[in-house]
Amino acid sequence: MNKGFDYLFKLLVIGDDGVGKSCFINRSCKDTYTEGFISSLGVDFLIKMVELDGLCFKVQIWDMPARACFRNIRIPYWQSNGVFIFFDLTDRGSYEDSKKWRQEVERYARDNVVAVLVGAKLDLVELNSSLRAVDYNEAKDYAESLGIEYIECSSKYEIDVEKCIQNMVLKIYSNSLEEETTFVPIKQIKPKKETCIIN
């Protein structure tokens, strides 16, 4: 039976609330952008089909909630092929917190997971350089020290969003060839719709 794709990859998008995770996923999968911040409630995903080098990749892109009350439901979703660690280029605190998110990747993710550090809201710092809170070379050097890629993007103006996805997919595929392993479809976890109650 022709399932319509050659490989199924699962990607996680993690980082603090408000750094642009949902905007990135919506731009990538639905080519839409919405101003304003809406906190993710529970864990959900969208599907994107990627065609590269004559192959068709079905990509599940999962939006990981940041709030501490979702910590227990986050753990089952870590068994992904790739992780985007997001921070806001205009928010120094979110960059520092990305290092904590990296620690969660090391703790929970599979050993061969592909990680990419992403500086979001590039459009804001290109319009006004004084808003940049994290120097490009600083973030790049930090990523290189971890052996991962660093990229900056804008979901609003669709700058390097596709590049993020394509680079990730190619890296995962390349690693699978080097390891001489065959990726099989990941068992899909039904998203839980839960609410974080703040007193």
Pick from 49, 51, 25, 57: nearest CA to 185: 57
Per-residue pLDDT of the chain (199 residues; tens, 9 = 90+): 457 999 999 999 999 999 999 999 999 999 999 876 555 555 678 999 999 989 999 999 999 877 654 555 556 778 899 999 999 999 999 999 999 999 999 998 998 999 999 999 999 999 999 999 999 999 999 999 999 999 999 999 999 999 999 999 999 999 988 876 545 544 444 444 433 333 3
Q: Cα separation of 93 and 43, whole Å? A: 24
- Residue 73: CB atoms within 10 A of its CB come to 16
Question: Beta strands 7-14 and 44-52: pairing type?
Answer: unpaired
In the chain, where are the structural domains located? Answer: 7-178
Fold classification of 7-178 is: Rossmann fold (3.40.50)
pTM above 0.95, yes or no: no
Q: Cα separation of 10 and 153, whole Å? A: 21
DSSP string, 88-148: ETT-HHHHHHHHHHHHHHHHHS-TT-EEEEEEE-HHHHHH-GGG--S-HHHHHHHHHHHT-
Q: Which two tokens stand for residue 155?
A: 């979901």
Q: Which two tokens stand for residue 114?
A: 């592909």
